Amino acid sequence: MSTANVREFVVEQIANEDSLTMEDLGLLLFGHSAFQYLNAGCELGVFEILSNSPGLTKRELEEHLKLQPQPTRCLLFGLTALKLIVKLGNSYRNSATIERFFADGKWKEFKDTVRFEARIVYLGQADFVDSLRQNTNVGLRHIPGKSKNLYERFGESSELQNVFYEYMSSWSRLANPLLLEHVDFSRMRNVVDVGGGDATNAIAIAEAYPGLKITLLDIPPNCELARRRIAARSLSDRISVVEGDMFVNEFPTGYDCFMFIHQLVIWPLEVNISLLRRAYEALEPGGSVLIFNSISSDEEDSPVMAALDSVYFVSIPAEGGMIYAWKEHEYCLREAGFSDIRRIECDFWTPHGIILATK
């Protein structure tokens, strides 16, 4: 058998063992362009227009979008090829998946996520290779400021801070029903939301459990935003806000649970161990820690969204983060002193998971 034939035989054998198609490869090669179509559809209002008026023609969409014929043609071509919208004869409608966001009242949450990816994530992820080589978040250079992490830099850019927290609030509203479905807070009296941001999570939990009191711990710029949102929901008597650095200040005592929500994907594992150990030391026996964020499989081969999201955490917010596997969170908890650890897998389109550990 010739070398060429051997090579062809090997390729055929490999093809029988995996699932990557040439179409998949093409989408990866031009994935940056695919996102630009999605972002343009959101920014220009294509999906809202078609949700309100399905079945519009290209000419009618051109008038609604206030675009010239050639740009309209290109935009609709891309959105249709990517299956975001569907062409039926000469008319267009949203795909069923896109329309589901409108039907469920979740379109703002999805659109805020796209806006965050476009305004904050996109440029920084171009530095992914350098971030891997240097083992640091090189992509942070695209965000104005001098601090070493994204969250402290928001104090120097109110516009980007608004984009980020609109996204985080929306992302949390999409995921929080999972937390409320799987965790019974009725057995707790008071909990701490470590790095609680704009209080979206604290508000959702407090509204679901009227007997629960929550303390939100975060850096000063975030605390001001949290106080405004808490007051707007008339929850200031049940959600208190404490300014502090979770890496420096001692964790408060006398609480039933410390919650780390969308927090332990940002930092290296050794930092996560330190944070969890501080929580362990502050808890009385019987107290617990709750971890809620995206989690990858123990084999580190899925889900795809967790892998893609890791590019952001490697490139931009801080040095050393990624979407960690279940077993890595459990390792950190054991290193911090916890032994009673329970994982709760969530069946959802985002790769969220919950881990509870009791002292």
Label residue 6 by pLDDT band (50, 70, 90). low
Question: Within a 10 A sphere around the Cβ of 87, how many other Cβ atoms?
Answer: 14
* CATH classification of the domain holding 70: 1.10.10.10
Phi, psi of 238 (to 5 degrees): -120, -20
Domain co-membership, 332 together with 190: yes
The answer to whether 187 and 122 have CB atoms below 8 angstroms apart is no
Domain co-membership, 148 together with 263: yes
Q: Which residue, chain included where needed, has tokens 């054998």?
A: 13
> Who has greater pLDDT, 263 or 159?
263
What is the rounded average pLDDT of the residues 156-172?
92
Which tens digit of pLDDT belongs to each residue from 87-105?
A: 999 999 999 999 999 999 9
The answer to whether 267 and 318 have CB atoms below 8 angstroms apart is yes
**Total tally of structural domains belonging to the chain:** 2
One-letter amino acid identity for 13?
Answer: Q
- Given a cut of 70, is residue 10 above it in pLDDT? no
Domain co-membership, 324 together with 241: yes
Domain co-membership, 95 together with 159: no
List the alpha helices (DSSP H) in the chain: 3-15, 22-29, 31-43, 46-52, 58-65, 69-81, 96-103, 107-116, 122-125, 128-134, 150-153, 158-182, 200-208, 220-232, 269-282, 304-315, 326-336
Domain co-membership, 184 together with 40: no
Domain co-membership, 215 together with 267: yes
pLDDT of residue 154: 86
Rounded Cα distance between 33 and 81, Å, is: 12
Domain co-membership, 123 together with 212: yes
Domain co-membership, 133 together with 95: no
Tokens of 17: 């063992």
* CATH classification of the domain holding 136: 3.40.50.150
Domain co-membership, 113 together with 186: yes
Domain co-membership, 98 together with 118: no
Beta partners for residue 344, in sequence order: 354
Domain co-membership, 128 together with 269: yes
Rounded Cα distance between 76 and 82, Å, is: 10
Label residue 318 by pLDDT band (50, 70, 90). very high
Give me the domain span that covers residue 121: 109-358
Domain co-membership, 84 together with 154: no
For 16, 79, 243, 313, the CA distances from 273, given in Å and listed in that order, are 42, 44, 22, 18
Q: Mean pLDDT: which of 1-5, 20-24, 332-336 is highest?
A: 332-336
Residues 6+ apart with CB under 8 A from 251: 192, 194, 217, 258, 278, 279, 281, 282
Which tens digit of pLDDT belongs to each residue from 245-289?
A: 999 998 999 999 999 999 999 999 999 999 999 999 999 999 999
pLDDT of residue 202: 98
Decide: pTM greater than 0.85: yes
Inter-helix orientation angle 200-208/158-182, to 10°: 30
pLDDT of residue 43: 98
